[in-house]
Structure 1
Amino acid sequence: MLVDFGFDLAGRTDARLWRGLTLSILQALLGVVPYLVLYFALEAVFAGRATDALAWGAAAILGVCLLLLWVVRAHAMLDNFAATYALVCDMRLRLADHLGRLPMGFFTRRRTGALADVLTGDFAIYTEVVTHTWGLVIANLALPVCIAGVLFLADWRLALLAVATIPFALLAVIWSQWLLVRAGEKLMDAKADTVGRLVEYIQGIAVLRAFGRTGAKHAALAASLARLEKQSLYTELAPAPALLMYGFTVELGFTIAAVVGAWLMTGGALSPAVYLLFLVLSLRFYKSLAELGIYLAELRFASATIARIRGYFGESAQPEPAAASLPTGCDVVFDNVSFAYEEQTVLKRVWAVMRPGTLTALVGPSGSGKSTVAHLLTRLWDVDSGAIRIGGVDVRAMAMAALQAHIGIVFQDVYLFRDSVLNNIRLGCPDADAEQVLAAAKAARAHDFIVQLPQGYETILGEGGYDLSGGQRQRLSIARALLKDAPILILDEATASVDLDNERLIQQAIAALTRGRTVIVIAHRLWTIQHADQILYFEHGRIVERGTHAELLAVENGRYRRQWQAQQQAGGWRIGGATGVRSVG
């Protein structure tokens, strides 16, 4: 395909686009009328038939034509711009929605900055080029065709000479596009690398300062920016040889036709009126072709961008069932579940049952598969074998919206949006009124610190909630989950990164949150889950021990027992002054 506009990715058609296309063609036809008037006027002048009536008639026709041309051009531009901007906007929204339905493995393989650049930078390039050249390409394609038709009517010999070099010019256009696409792909890669490094540098600036590594990372970022600058310049210059060849080829055709036309005229085989018309039309003809070559090159560059966007659309989303089922309860069953990520086994034949009104704790060393259990339950990934059922229904047979409605999650790393406290809590239930939000905040032990903020619940939080402490962010997350009121609750290391005072408040909030629900807790601090109804100890992707706290402590030399004893022992140690580490227990 010579040019890919990508409008099909919007998922709909727009009548304005095709109306604008029709008007652009009509604009080209109207653009030929003045030249036809010129031809007949010249014929009359050279034949000695020029009169005042002829002059006034020609002027009237030109006036009407110019008025119609202005009206048609205005409506064509309005329709073309409105349609292309609307379609590109819908395309961007569809891509964002599609990304939201991809498995988590897609995101772990890519930098966040690179993905953000697709929705911003890539689309900005594509939008700028496509919206400004769609109508112009059509007009500059239709106008030469119309002019060529007039040239053939005037003198087929000169017309053949005029168009003889166009096939060679098109080869030059294809060459320029090939050069531009090759350079553009490298530019996109350089840009994605730079954006990724820039986001990483900004997000990690505190860590870099703490370890005195800002210089090293800054140097890497500077090198990436230098590569981007070099590649940007190269991309601008890459198609120059082909475009020069295109211009030379087009102008060569005009030169040959002009010389031959002069020879025919001096020999009496061509009238002066036709020759003059040919010269005037040819200049407009070749000017349109020159502009068309530039627009096609720009659109080909945009096509390289749209190819990257198509690549994201081509990523397989997690399948939705053709006929969704609804669970009849909120019990959770892992039935011989196995899962591997990038050929590395993460879970092996996991079997477990979590009943309503009970709390199941998942413990074990880091990387043992605990968090993967939560990810598979929420379908961030799908199992490789076995099944996960909620209320007797395989989660893969549930509509994603229904699955999300059944599960509430309190993450270890809480993300808050740049919005009011009220709306951040309301994320759990967008239709909740202020009183429901207030009740959830009180139950989550968050109300007291919220009312002390400058505007209380209307306080706008910084991006990520950086202006709140870890414990405060965690309590807002619990308030979200309370407001959602889902029958299944996952607590992923909810107290792992907070101090003891905040941990006490969060434990009180969690106690309110877990009543009457199927609760799954992922924990490292074993004392926080000693009252769990069942504890599953993971190691190397398998459940190697299961039971209550008392039952697992009774296992001689058991893994849970050793970890409990190690944590109890660690609790009796503290950092000493000059003497280093010493026991106080």
Structure 2
Amino acid sequence: MLLRVLGREYAQPMRRTVALMTTTAIAEGLSYALLVPVLRALLGDTPGDAWPWLIAFGTAVAVYTALRYISDLSGFRVGSALLRGMYHRLGDHLARLPIGWYSAGRLGEVSVLAGRGVLQAMAVIAHLLAPFISACVTPLTIVVVMLAFQWQMGLAALVAAPIVAAIQIWTGRSMAAADAERSERDQEATGRVIEYLQAQPVLRAGGRTAERFRLLDDSLQEVQRASRRSTLASLPGALGLTLAVQAMFTVLLVLGAYLALGGNIGAAEILTILVLAARCADPLLSLSDIGGKLRGARSVLARLDTVLRTEPLPEASEPIQPVRHDLEFESVAFQHGGRTVIDNVSLSVPEGQRLAVVGPSGAGKSTLLQLLARFYDVDAGAVHVGGVDVRAINTEVLMAQIAIVFQDVYLFDGTIEENVRLGRPDADEAEVRAAATAARLDDVIERLPGGWATNVGEGGALLSGGERQRVAIARALLKNAPIVLLDEVTSALDPVNEAAVHEGIERLMAGRTVVMVAHRMRTVRRADRVVFLDGGRIVEEGSHDELLRRGGRYADFWNISLTPAASE
């Protein structure tokens, strides 16, 4: 599972680390083999003969110590390198997944995976792999030594191996449901904590600041219950492992006494074998704790594996470069969440013209923009850019042709300049300043203490909605793409910001092919053509004046939406 999640490029260093850790565990077991001649000499007639063996034992321990240091250091280094690689691999893969994959619940899951999850999974390499290999390989090496020294007792010790393995497998299977429930409850509780923090204004407005949030309380109680069930479920395995190891030691003690009484083995040999058996017991008993941590890590790895095996939108084997910038929907149908969102839509936008998409909420307006940008693939029909199906265009080439300004602007936690430069990172300073001026962003920058170096906060939280929109428009202007997609960007702005943003939008749209989702009629009147969408179908289309003369759905929508500002 770990190798599959890491990917082929990271498999080789991982295998080398595992081989080094295995060699270290074998060296540890073999070093204990030298206890046999040491104890035999010490308990014999000439204890002085133990000196050469003691020196050999000390040398073996020194070699083991050096190997352990090297293998642990390798584990830390490989774990750190793979952690970086894992973040890059996960990030690259998430960037290629269709936007429709990012449901609200999945965003929380990915957030947990990308944070604590990746750290927990990669901690296996740095912290758990070496102890796990040592707990498995070192006892087996010691058992092989016992077989070579006294086969009857070695064989008795070997019988414990399948018993311990069976207990570990049984424990893992019996814990699977409890571990899954615990993970699910943890995620739910995390969501409730975030919800509780976000709900503070509502709770305080309702005078409930001193009350507990029932949903959060219930969720935390479920976590407590799941933790209790998980702990109880792990007890039989831990007790079973302890009893199996103690039973093995008891059997060896009884068998050794029987062989000694029969004259088949001396007291020194019995003592030596019991010392070796005791060295087997410690790592075996640690398997219970290590196994629990590995199960938790494996659960995370399984979720990471599921995400990484999710197929991104397919790329064309021989991509085509569009040379024009006209747009076309050809009998397009699209379903989402079991509901038909776009139903047999056909329309075209000539290069350099503006199309306004109008309609009630849930009509599928924003989905049209998302299909143009290939956030989703259509279920039927085709979407063309410059006469080329978007599925035949390389994703990077397609996105280079399009500038998008959404209603809800997201800014990255950085400076204003860094967020504007996302449009075209290689732009020079004069181009960045010109884009800011065209978007009326320079007015904002002048009144901010930090100017261009002002930090916008996560998501742009330190700026107002209108200021964020100006940054987004400046970013789109700097990108200088021939196609512009606008998802009504002024619906929640005050009059001052709305006027400034409209000015920036006009400059953004000049000379470009534009598709705009419009809620305010002031925007619609500037379009060359208007499409009225309802229930995923085109109900009416034409120019603003034509549709008003027809007196249909668009005219009704216009009359309802008409305001003094819109009529000016």
What RMSD in Å do the two structures reach over aligned CA positions? Answer: 2.3
Aligned counterparts, 1:408-487, within 5 A:
408-487=403-482
Contact 1:166–1:249 (8 Å) recurs in 2:
no
Contact 2:423–2:478 (8 Å) recurs in 1:
yes
Contact 1:17–1:83 (8 Å) recurs in 2:
yes
Q: Does residue 146 in structure 1 map to residue 151 in structure 2?
A: no
Contact 2:330–2:382 (8 Å) recurs in 1:
yes
**TM-score normalised by the chain length of structure 2:** 0.94
Contact 2:326–2:352 (8 Å) recurs in 1:
no
Structure-2 residue corresponding to 1:259: 254
Q: 1:38 aligns with which of 35, 39, 42?
A: 35
Contact 1:183–1:238 (8 Å) recurs in 2:
yes
Residues 302-331 of structure 1: CA distance to partner in whole angstroms, max 9, x if unpaired? 212211222222322111112211101111
Contact 1:425–1:479 (8 Å) recurs in 2:
yes
| Mapped partners of 1:209, 1:487: distance in 2 | 48
Aligned counterparts, 1:283-322, within 5 A:
283-322=278-317
| Mapped partners of 1:19, 1:384: distance in 2 | 46
Structure-1 residue corresponding to 2:501: 506
Change (3 A) 1:15 1:384: closer
Q: 2:170 aligns with which of 153, 175, 186?
A: 175
Q: 2:119 aligns with which of 112, 116, 124?
A: 124
Structure-2 residue corresponding to 1:29: 26
Contact 2:36–2:272 (8 Å) recurs in 1:
yes
The gaps in structure 1 that reach 5 residues or longer are: 574-584
| Mapped partners of 2:344, 2:207: distance in 1 | 46
Contact 1:19–1:79 (8 Å) recurs in 2:
no
Q: 1:567 aligns with which of 557, 561, 567?
A: 561
Structure-2 residue corresponding to 1:234: 229
Deviation at 1:81, TM superposition (A): 1.9
Deviation at 1:371, TM superposition (A): 0.7
Structure 1 residue identity aligned to 2:372: L
Residues 266-298 of structure 1: CA distance to partner in whole angstroms, max 9, x if unpaired? 221112232121111111112222223432342
Structure 1 residue identity aligned to 2:213: H
Deviates more, 1:227-236 or 1:374-383: 227-236
Change (3 A) 1:263 1:541: same
| Mapped partners of 1:232, 1:403: distance in 2 | 49
Structure 1 residue identity aligned to 2:17: G
Structure-1 residue corresponding to 2:16: 19
Q: Does residue 243 in structure 1 map to residue 238 in structure 2?
A: yes
Structure 1 residue identity aligned to 2:547: L
**TM-score normalised by the chain length of structure 1:** 0.92
Structure 2 residue matching 1:110: 3-state secondary structure: helix
Deviates more, 1:325-334 or 1:82-91: 82-91
Contact 1:17–1:79 (8 Å) recurs in 2:
no
Q: Does residue 396 in structure 1 map to residue 391 in structure 2?
A: yes
Aligned counterparts, 1:484-499, within 5 A:
484-499=479-494
Deviation at 1:27, TM superposition (A): 2.2
Change (3 A) 1:117 1:170: same
Contact 2:403–2:476 (8 Å) recurs in 1:
yes
Aligned counterparts, 1:324-343, within 5 A:
324-343=319-338
| Mapped partners of 1:436, 1:18: distance in 2 | 50
Structure 1 residue identity aligned to 2:479: K
Aligned counterparts, 1:366-377, within 5 A:
366-377=361-372
Q: Does residue 59 in structure 1 map to residue 54 in structure 2?
A: yes
| Mapped partners of 1:243, 1:257: distance in 2 | 21
Structure 2 residue matching 1:100: 3-state secondary structure: helix
Change (3 A) 1:212 1:356: farther
| Mapped partners of 1:320, 1:209: distance in 2 | 50
Deviation at 1:497, TM superposition (A): 0.8
Structure-2 residue corresponding to 1:5: 2
Contact 1:114–1:193 (8 Å) recurs in 2:
no
Contact 2:37–2:50 (8 Å) recurs in 1:
no
Deviation at 1:213, TM superposition (A): 6.9
| Mapped partners of 1:158, 1:82: distance in 2 | 41
Change (3 A) 1:65 1:355: same
Structure 1 residue matching 2:424: 3-state secondary structure: coil
Contact 2:455–2:462 (8 Å) recurs in 1:
no
Deviates more, 1:393-402 or 1:164-173: 164-173
Deviates more, 1:410-419 or 1:54-63: 54-63
| Mapped partners of 2:210, 2:124: distance in 1 | 38
Deviates more, 1:7-16 or 1:497-506: 7-16
Change (3 A) 1:215 1:550: farther
Structure-2 residue corresponding to 1:581: none
Change (3 A) 1:210 1:274: same
Structure 1 residue identity aligned to 2:560: A
Structure 2 residue matching 1:339: 3-state secondary structure: strand
Q: 1:110 aligns with which of 105, 111, 115?
A: 105
Change (3 A) 1:486 1:334: same
Structure-1 residue corresponding to 2:360: 365
| Mapped partners of 2:446, 2:79: distance in 1 | 47
Deviation at 1:112, TM superposition (A): 3.1
Structure 2 residue matching 1:320: 3-state secondary structure: coil
Structure-2 residue corresponding to 1:158: 153
Structure 2 residue identity aligned to 1:519: V
Structure 2 residue matching 1:388: 3-state secondary structure: strand
| Mapped partners of 1:272, 1:566: distance in 2 | 102
Contact 1:180–1:301 (8 Å) recurs in 2:
no
Contact 2:5–2:308 (8 Å) recurs in 1:
no
The gaps in structure 2 that reach 5 residues or longer are: none
Deviation at 1:21, TM superposition (A): 2.5
Deviation at 1:209, TM superposition (A): 4.2
Structure 2 residue identity aligned to 1:563: F
Q: Does residue 355 in structure 1 map to residue 350 in structure 2?
A: yes
Contact 2:30–2:142 (8 Å) recurs in 1:
no
Contact 2:412–2:419 (8 Å) recurs in 1:
yes
| Mapped partners of 2:154, 2:85: distance in 1 | 44
| Mapped partners of 1:407, 1:203: distance in 2 | 34
Contact 1:364–1:370 (8 Å) recurs in 2:
yes
Contact 2:38–2:54 (8 Å) recurs in 1:
no
Contact 2:35–2:57 (8 Å) recurs in 1:
no
Residues 42-64 of structure 1: CA distance to partner in whole angstroms, max 9, x if unpaired? 4345553443xx34322321232
Q: 2:547 aligns with which of 547, 552, 558?
A: 552
Structure 1 residue matching 2:328: 3-state secondary structure: strand
Structure 2 residue identity aligned to 1:32: G
Contact 2:530–2:541 (8 Å) recurs in 1:
yes
| Mapped partners of 1:572, 1:81: distance in 2 | 64
Deviates more, 1:320-329 or 1:99-108: 99-108
Structure 2 residue matching 1:519: 3-state secondary structure: strand
Q: Does residue 221 in structure 1 map to residue 216 in structure 2?
A: yes
Q: Does residue 517 in structure 1 map to residue 524 in structure 2?
A: no
Deviates more, 1:122-131 or 1:218-227: 122-131
